[in-house]
Structure 1
Amino acid sequence: MKTTKLVYVTLSLLILGNTAVTVSGVESQQPNIVLLLADDLGGSDLHCYGHPYSRTPNIDSLARDGTRFIQFYATGATCCPARTGLMTSKYPATYPSYPANGGFADRVTVTELLKKQGYDTGHFGKWHIGPVQKPGTYGIDSINSSDEKQGGKKKQLGEERGRDAPIYDDAIKFIEQHKGGPFYVNVWGHISHNPVNPSDRLVKPWSELTVKDSDFPPQMYDKFNAVRKAGGDVDDAMRCYLADVQSLDDNVGRLLKRLDELGLRENTIVVFNSDQGADMTKASLGGLRFNQMGFNGPVRGGKHTHWEGGVRVPWIVRWPGHVPAGRTDKTSVLSGVDWLPTLCAITGIKINANKFDGEDVSAAWLGQGPHLRAKPLLWKTSSPGSESYIREGQWKLRHPTRRNGGEVELYNIAADPAESSNVADQHPDIVKTLSAKVQTWVASLPKDYVKTKDQED
């Protein structure tokens, strides 16, 4: 077993100048870290996030035994941008070359930092963060990625245990091999990305399900109606979708059980997340798209948009004895860019916080109070003329450009998470302040981006 240790300290006195610090500390082994990332899973697709039908007892157990965050944001509305924020704590629009094709250049990754800290590192499942996928990339020791070919017919894993089962097999094997710790592992599945086509065995337990439109908010009605208009069966589509999600939960359960069997539960941080919200725009395109029944809750938009439905996603943290159990944090505003600096704070890695877009939000994880952001959250696609968004405090502003048109939109997210009432006219001072901040940020971004064949997934 490795002997890397971490000392948790509580500062009781700090005098600047002649610095005097008194501390009390408890020596502890550094925690293992497991990041479970779903793909296109809606903000309300889990039972613990309010889905009326879904069966996700294993993921729900993470919320029961840990803390569930309500205002967690992905750093992009498609797959690569969200992963970029998690890996580098930098907004994707800051890269002149789309990272799925150009990689992270000289930006440091969370896995590189942890590797230097003595962690064994692994990555299993979807990659979509650069052209090189071999051991050693980004400081990752073991890589078994299963990216599906973009722009063509998707590879359908579709085995009897669910299409993500092989990914979880590999992750569990990695954990077994490195049970002495500390280890960090990305487990990045494909569920519930298109195509959703689970086996008959997985769908059979859902055969009696009948969708009742009134069980959902109006945001889902357009999706239901589009499928029906195109000749699809909403009941069948929902059965397939929920069977796919349940297979993900089954595999999460296998991994959690193995952690328990290996005696690793108490010293392992397990996080469940989705890279962006469910696709609300393409359900009527035909074929397997009928099965895209992802549910973002009573919010606006979905994947491919920076409205709440596109970027507000599940975030559950379990770390027994450290993260409060059974807690729901409705106040803290967190982001994927916070992953790297928070893990650095927890594991004792020193970084220059000014070089990263995220913040250390460990206090919110540990139940020491809500996190109040010092930096705003920002979104923009990798295109010079695209619109941009900013979230600061309770406010979220859409800043249009001449190319995409429209008006400035301002929403009080605390009072109106559905972004249903544009209050820009009522708060001109806030519009002015946020517009200036987002314009300053946009001015700092690359003036041109390397054009690539595919920047959507």
Structure 2
Amino acid sequence: MKSSAVKRLLFLLLICLVQPLSAAEHPNIVLVFIDDMGWGDFSCFGNTKASTPHIDSLAKEGIRFEQFYVNSPICSPSRVAISTGQYPHRHRITSYLASRKANKSRGIANWLDPEAPMLARFLKQAGYATAHCGKWHMGGQRDVDNAPPITDYGFDVSLTNFEGMGAKLLPLTEVPLKNGGVKKGRIWQDAARLGEPVEWILRSKITGGFADKAVAFIDQSQKNKRPFYINVWPDDVHTPLFPSPTNWADSQRGLYQSVLEEMDQQLARLFDRICNDDALRENTLILVCSDNGPEKNAGSAGPFRGLKATLFEGGVRSPLIVWGPGFIAPPQQGTVNKTSVFAAIDLVPSLLDLAGVSVPKEVHFDGEDLAKTLIGKSHQSRSAPLFFRRPPDRKEFRHLKNLPDLAVREGKWKLLCDYDGTRPRLFNLETDPGEAMNLTDQHPELTERLIKEVLAWNATMPVDAGDPKFNTTQKETK
């Protein structure tokens, strides 16, 4: 029997032996991971063109974090990071997963290895009920139809969209016509082969479908007296944008604002289910953030430079709201943390700490335990620098040309450069959050040190097709 099969058998035996946890003693966790939303898109983060009252209500009782990062400026690797607590580069997922041919040409995997150290699996092993509701995009898309099901990654149940294996919601579209009619359509019709059952639902209502699945799972978990961990990962606010016909707009930005508001309204049923239940209210953590920066002419990166797919702040800095009245002391509720610098990889060890769940000694996270920061008992930042690498297919991206390859954030400093260390740009984010003034000439020693650090980090990661060394590496491994 192969070692992987033995490990899986041992895992199943362990699950059978686990005693159910007491829901009253272990916090429930809900992670809302929004798609392609900018740092400045919640109204509590400065959006004056659209209103997100239900998400804002979480912020009023929770903490807003202004220096939280995701670990990639694009979808799939960002999801890997927040699921594993490790840099996604370790798993050879450095851009969005697509067809087999496209993945191979970019030097990336077709799916995340199911033996990766998953937050959901650690919690499930400890007795949590676990569910994934929403976009997956870590395997099972386009012609990649033999990826592992989502339940192989530590989830009891799953409901996804066209970028994941298993039960799914697929989108019906309605576009208002000038004559007063409505043009109807379907998107990703062939995705049904990636898993059933399939339910077709209006694209403008899909977030509500995922929220309903999460609410039903909460109901069942409460009935079974088990703590729960739930991913709620909407398709929204990813383009193409299909708000309800009654909320249609004439511009891309207008369509985006309509979808954003409808998403907030549909998530309200999930938030209300938790907030209006005394037991859940005192023993649940809700985290809300975005997987990467916004598309051009859609979302807003606030005061930051750059968009989705770039390593500038607008591509990798995400709004984060943490809500949990039972864990956040009243003086900290409704506050803004402007100083703590940390990232999605840090959420995994932090949430495991808050859940009272330990992991095997052989598991090593790139993330750090910042549990006290999440619940307002500290303003600590992660101690190690944050490193970034651009997606291999994003050297040029639409109107953006010759983008930097690598980046590092250390303290107040941010450095970007190319794979060989050339074209360095150094920014003091305390005084220049918009990354407008290159300070390399003023700080040559700091620049040289940070270049060495980010090049050394990158050398420890598998090479993808964005790196000039990729072709040489491929030949050597054949």
The question of a shared fold, defined as TM-score above 0.5 by the shorter chain, is answered with yes
In the alignment, residue 393 of structure 1 is paired with which amino acid?
G
In the alignment, residue 397 of structure 1 is paired with which amino acid?
L
Q: Is the 8 A contact 1:73 1:312 kept in 2?
A: yes
1:372 maps onto 2:410 in alignment: no
2:319 counterpart (298, 314, 323): 314
Q: Is the 8 A contact 2:311 2:390 kept in 1?
A: no
Q: Percent identity?
A: 35
Residue 429 of structure 1, CA deviation:
1.4
Residue 162 of structure 1, CA deviation:
3.0
Distance of 1:246 and 1:397 partners within structure 2 = 35
2:68 counterpart (65, 72, 81): 72
Residue 448 of structure 1, CA deviation:
5.2
1:388 maps onto 2:403 in alignment: no
1:408 maps onto 2:421 in alignment: no
Describe the shift of the 1:105–1:176 C-alpha distance in structure 2 as closer, same or farther (beyond 3 A). Answer: closer
1:398 maps onto 2:416 in alignment: yes
Structure 2 counterpart of 1:427:
443
Q: Is the 8 A contact 1:279 1:303 kept in 2?
A: yes
Residue 71 of structure 1, CA deviation:
0.5
1:273 maps onto 2:302 in alignment: no
Residue 61 of structure 1, CA deviation:
0.5
Q: Is the 8 A contact 1:88 1:109 kept in 2?
A: yes
Q: After superposition, what is the alpha-carbon deviation per residue over 1:373-418, rounded to whole angstroms, capped at 9, x for unaligned?
A: 211111114649981110010001112135xx96101111111110
Distance of 2:351 and 2:131 partners within structure 1 = 16
Structure 1 counterpart of 2:25:
29
Q: After superposition, what is the alpha-carbon deviation per residue over 1:326-361, rounded to whole angstroms, capped at 9, x for unaligned?
A: 010000012010111001111122245981111111
Higher mean Cα deviation, 33-42 or 442-451? 442-451
Structure 2 counterpart of 1:95:
91
2:78 counterpart (82, 85, 89): 82
Residue 298 of structure 1, CA deviation:
1.5
Residue 104 of structure 1, CA deviation:
3.0
Structure 1 counterpart of 2:173:
none
Distance of 1:418 and 1:293 partners within structure 2 = 19
Describe the shift of the 1:356–1:312 C-alpha distance in structure 2 as closer, same or farther (beyond 3 A). Answer: same
Residue 258 of structure 1, CA deviation:
1.5
1:130 counterpart (135, 139, 149): 139
Q: After superposition, what is the alpha-carbon deviation per residue over 1:271-314, rounded to whole angstroms, capped at 9, x for unaligned?
A: 1111011112xxxxxxxxxxx52111121011010110001111
TM-score, normalised to structure 1's length? 0.78
Residue 160 of structure 1, CA deviation:
8.2
Describe the shift of the 1:393–1:116 C-alpha distance in structure 2 as closer, same or farther (beyond 3 A). Answer: same
Describe the shift of the 1:400–1:56 C-alpha distance in structure 2 as closer, same or farther (beyond 3 A). Answer: same
Describe the shift of the 1:186–1:355 C-alpha distance in structure 2 as closer, same or farther (beyond 3 A). Answer: same
2:118 counterpart (109, 117, 121): 109
1:258 maps onto 2:273 in alignment: yes
Q: Is the 8 A contact 1:122 1:143 kept in 2?
A: yes
1:329 maps onto 2:337 in alignment: yes
In the alignment, residue 234 of structure 2 is paired with which amino acid?
G
Residue 158 of structure 1, CA deviation:
7.2
Distance of 1:396 and 1:134 partners within structure 2 = 38
Structure 1 counterpart of 2:256:
241
Q: Is the 8 A contact 2:121 2:153 kept in 1?
A: yes
Describe the shift of the 1:135–1:93 C-alpha distance in structure 2 as closer, same or farther (beyond 3 A). Answer: closer
Unpaired runs of 5+ residues, structure 1, are 7-27, 208-232, 281-291, 452-457
Distance of 1:353 and 1:396 partners within structure 2 = 32
Structure 2 counterpart of 1:25:
none
Describe the shift of the 1:200–1:116 C-alpha distance in structure 2 as closer, same or farther (beyond 3 A). Answer: same
In the alignment, residue 164 of structure 1 is paired with which amino acid?
T
TM-score, normalised to structure 2's length? 0.75
Higher mean Cα deviation, 349-358 or 368-377? 349-358
1:173 counterpart (201, 216, 228): 216
Q: After superposition, what is the alpha-carbon deviation per residue over 1:428-454, rounded to whole angstroms, capped at 9, x for unaligned?
A: 111122111111111111145699xxx
Residue 174 of structure 1, CA deviation:
1.2
Describe the shift of the 1:139–1:163 C-alpha distance in structure 2 as closer, same or farther (beyond 3 A). Answer: closer
Correspondences of 1:209-248 after superposition (within 5 Å): 233=250, 236-248=251-263
1:50 maps onto 2:58 in alignment: no
Distance of 2:313 and 2:157 partners within structure 1 = 35
Distance of 2:94 and 2:436 partners within structure 1 = 32
Q: Secondary structure of the equivalent of 1:313? A: strand
- Tell me how many residue pairs correspond in the alignment: 383
